[in-house]
Each structure stands twice: as structure tokens, then as C-alpha cells.
Amino acid sequence: MPGIVEYLILGAVLFALGLVGFMSRRNLIVIFLSTEVMFQGVVINAVAYGRLHHHMEGQAFALFLLAIAAVEAGLALGLIMLLYRQRDSLDAEAWSLMRG
């Protein structure tokens, strides 16, 4: 895969950083923000692959990803508001009902 390896590695780095944030932070908002960081990594990857194959598919996919990300952000924030109203806390550890 000529010329895009560095972009792939960068995409992996951003994705993994977002993953680390998702797994380790306790603030619900920061968790979702980390998810958005993961999205950035994926966008870079998608566009790089599109460039490789000389096709618009990569960029179109990234555009739709963007749309989905927006949808997800909106709904997630609505849910966070609901959760915050329930427990009066943004702590992810307050919601461990799936225990056991």
C-alpha cells in the first residue's frame, strides 16, 4: 500500500487514544468525547484508503460517517441529560445495574 502507511498508523494512534479514554475516564461526557476521537481516526483511515484506490468511495463513506456521528452525538447527549437527571451525577460508575 504505497504512500498511505503513515496515515494508517496515524489513524491507528488516534483510534487507540480514543479507546484508552473510553475505557478509563469516568465522566460520561468525556467518554463520548473519546468516542468522537475514535471517529477522527477512522475518517483519516477511510480517506487514505479512498486515495489509494483512486475512488470517491472512501470520502463518501467518511461523509456518511460524519452524519452518523452527528446523529449519535445528539442522541447520546440527550441520554446523558436523562441519566444526569436520574442520579444527579455524571459518573459512569453510578450506572452498574448490569452487575453480575
Whole-number minimum distance, CB 37 to another protein, in Å? 5
- Helices 28-52 + 5-24 axis angle, to 10: 170
Within residues 27-46, the interface with another protein by CB under 8 A covers: 27, 29-34, 36-37, 40, 43-44
Q: Give the H/E segment covering residue 7.
A: helix 5-24
DSSP assignment string, 66-94: HHHHHHHHHHHHHHHHHHHHHHS--BGGG
Whole-number minimum distance, CB 35 to another protein, in Å? 10
Contact 32, 77 (CB under 8 A): yes
14 binds another protein (CB under 8 A): yes
Whole-number minimum distance, CB 25 to another protein, in Å? 6
Within residues 58-87, the interface with another protein by CB under 8 A covers: 58-60, 62-64, 66-71, 73-75, 77-82, 84-85
